[in-house]
Amino acid sequence: MLSAIRLTRGRWRVKRENGRRKPVAVYGALIELCLNARMIRQDVSLPLPSDLVATLHAMALERGEPFEDLVRGMLDREVTRLRSARTSAIAEQARVARLQRLLAPEMARATGWADLQARLALYGVALKPARKGVMLHDHITGERLCSSAALGFGARELAARFGGEMAAPVAPEGDGLAVTG
């Protein structure tokens, strides 16, 4: 059984009840992580609408937790959500940048809608008409990747280059289905 944990000469050591000390790497790392994660709290004062404060107090009572803990938890979750959203936006921007580097040269060389679709198909993507322009989709999953405008080729520019708007894809004859934008 453990009786003490201490840092000795740069190594974490566990003192057992029998008096022996044993170096531990994993436990030490966890303890160091916990020590570094300890929050330093700071009092903050900010004016809030009285109805909001009353609602927060009521929520704290319903949950059986202190008002401060409720507000602190809400703020913590909101900051986490905003960081996640920012990370998602950054990842989306990076994905569009990669697609642009990969596909822009092919889109610039295309001489018509059919030629453009054939060039994009080599990369596993396809353009499809959308309400506000033309969207790039994964050819296999159908996942919407980005707009053609995000790649530097707006729907109007492509329509002017190719002599008309992109036609909506039509299903093969015989199955009675037609896909429209």
For 7-30, how does the pLDDT look when each residue is reduced to its tens digit (9 = 90+)?
555 555 555 555 565 555 545 545
Are residues 55 and 27 part of one domain? no
In a domain, 179, yes or no: no
Per the model's pLDDT, the better-predicted residue between 41 and 150 turns out to be 150
In a domain, 174, yes or no: no
In a domain, 180, yes or no: no
Q: Which domain holds residue 68?
A: 50-92
pLDDT number for residue 44: 78
In a domain, 132, yes or no: yes
| pLDDT band for position 168 (cuts 50, 70, 90) | low
In a domain, 170, yes or no: no
Residue 99 has pLDDT above 70, yes or no: yes
Whole-prediction pTM = 0.49
Mean pLDDT of 49-76: 88
Q: Give the pair of three-digit tokens for residue 123.
A: 């990369």
In a domain, 133, yes or no: yes
List strand residue ranges (DSSP E) for the chain, in order: 2-8, 11-16, 21-23, 125-130, 133-138, 144-147
pLDDT number for residue 139: 86
From 78, 154, 160, 162, select the one nearest 115 (Cα to Cα).
Answer: 162
Number of domains in the chain: 3
Are residues 55 and 30 part of one domain? no
In a domain, 173, yes or no: no
